[in-house]
Structure 1
Amino acid sequence: MTSTPLVIVGIGGFGREVIDVVDAMNASATRFELLGMLDDAPAEQHAERLSVRGVPYLGTVDQWLAKGVTASYVIGIANARVRRIIDTKFTAAGHEPVALVHPAASTGSRVALGPGAVVCAGARLTTNITIGRHTHVHVNATVGHDTVLEPFSSAYPLSAISGECHLGEGSTVGAHATVLQGRRLGADAFVGAGAVVTRDVAPGVTVTGVPARPTADAAPGTSHD
């Protein structure tokens, strides 16, 4: 089987977790040839941690695209706004994203994955679920039946999204947070860690607490890992 050349954008924590997903998918048969990692502003500590993995840093997104190398891509960056910008650049250059699912994740019937989606180890997706373009389902997150995660949304580690929910584009459910049955998150909404969403959340609003209430203390999507 011919392997697909691949680059990962983002050398922070989640970007390096994506390496683990690729390695796990390649364990039984080599599906991807990981060429290396891209990052427009690599932090020194992340560069050091990447070097230990033996995966090369290839430069910035613009530097890579200028080379004209044919390769697929996946974006390992939490910030939805940054993901949108990067996706626009790669799409304009004619590159195609790939969806990645760790073999230790569980997906039921009628689970549709958009291009660039990443589903990490221990994630549980039941039935009739739509995962949008460049959406991230982190380790041990659960997504219930008949739920839609629109493009660039994220379910952080150990979050629990119940059935019949709808996460708007760019929205985020924080670690250990819960979204109850049938709730809707507007575009770019942010659910803080450990919160319990009992009511719909308006676009761009950050909610925290139990039950979740709006707060002005946290800006959604500020992490770039």
Structure 2
Amino acid sequence: MHVIGAGGHAKVVIDIIKSHNNKIEGVWAENCITPTFLDYPLNNYSEFKQLNTHRFIIAIGNNQVRKRIANELMTSSAEIVHPSCSLSASVVMGAGCVCMANTTINADVVIGDHVIINSNASVDHDCKIANFVHISPQVGLAGNVTIGEGTHVGIGATVIPGVKIGKWATIGAGAVVIRDVPDYAVVVGNPGKIIKYNKIED
């Protein structure tokens, strides 16, 4: 497995890969400040496309950067699921997803491409999560929640059943979302309130 990224998120992804006894074939980064990363040789990302492989994961937490790299590579990639993840057999998961330790993903959840479900997060039945979303640690999504492309749900946030969150929104840490959230909105607090809007070219 090849890992694209050399930050904190990549460290966790590499641990998950190793938990499956899979070999790390290469670590790639856009800015190779050091020659190694976790004792693996660090390679220049610009050379990665020449490999023409599907056995890679984009281990970068930033949703916009993850989308850009996925669009540059224009090929499907592997998904990584920690052994402790409770994953319903009816879950549909896209390419390049990462499900971290102690996550729970329940029946009939649909997950897009290159989504991060971070440690101890819970995604209940019938949720729909679009491409390039990041669900942070200890997030609780109740049933039938919809989350649009590129949205980041911050650590410890809670979303009640049936809420629709738009694309490229930001849900702040610990927020309690009780109503629909429009595209690009930044929501904080309990109950969650919009405080501004993201300026993102998607």
TM-score when normalising by structure 2: 0.91
**Contact kept in structure 1, 2:92 and 2:111, CA below 8 Å:** yes
Equivalents in 2 of 1:102, 1:7: separation in Å? 17
Residue of structure 1 aligned with 2:60, choices 66, 70, 77: 77
* In 1: Cα distance, 2:164 partner to 2:31 partner: 34
In the alignment, which residue of structure 2 is the partner of 1:179? 159
Which residue of 95, 102, 114 corresponds with 1:115? 95
**What is the aligned counterpart of 2:31 among 41, 44, 53?**
41
SS at 1:127 equivalent: coil
Q: Which residue of 2 aligns with 1:29?
A: none
Contact 1:25 1:101 in 2 (8 A): no
Change (3 A) 1:69 1:148: closer
Q: Does 1:102 align with 2:82?
A: yes
Contact 1:10–1:39 at 8 Å: present in 2 too? Answer: yes
C-alpha contact 2:172 2:188 (8 A) present in aligned 1:
yes
Deviation readout 1:51-91 (Å, 9 max, x if unpaired) = 4x3222112x22222x4354521111122111111001111
Structure 2 matches for 1:203-214, cutoff 5 A? Answer: 203-214=183-194
75-84 or 189-198, which deviates more: 75-84
Cα distance in 1, alignment partners of residues 51 and 139 from structure 2: 39
Q: 1:68 to 1:126 in 2, by over 3 A?
A: closer
TM-score by length of 1: 0.83
Contact 1:8 1:73 in 2 (8 A): yes
What residue in structure 1 maps to residue 119 of structure 2?
A: 139
Unaligned runs of 5+ residues in structure 2 are none
The alignment's C-alpha RMSD in Å is: 2.0
Identity of aligned residues (%): 29
**Structure with the larger RCO, 1 or 2 (CA within 8 Å, 6+ apart):** 1
User: Is the CA contact (8 Å cut-off) linking 2:91 and 2:110 kept in structure 1?
Assistant: yes
Aligned equivalents of 1:90, 1:105: Cα separation in 2: 28
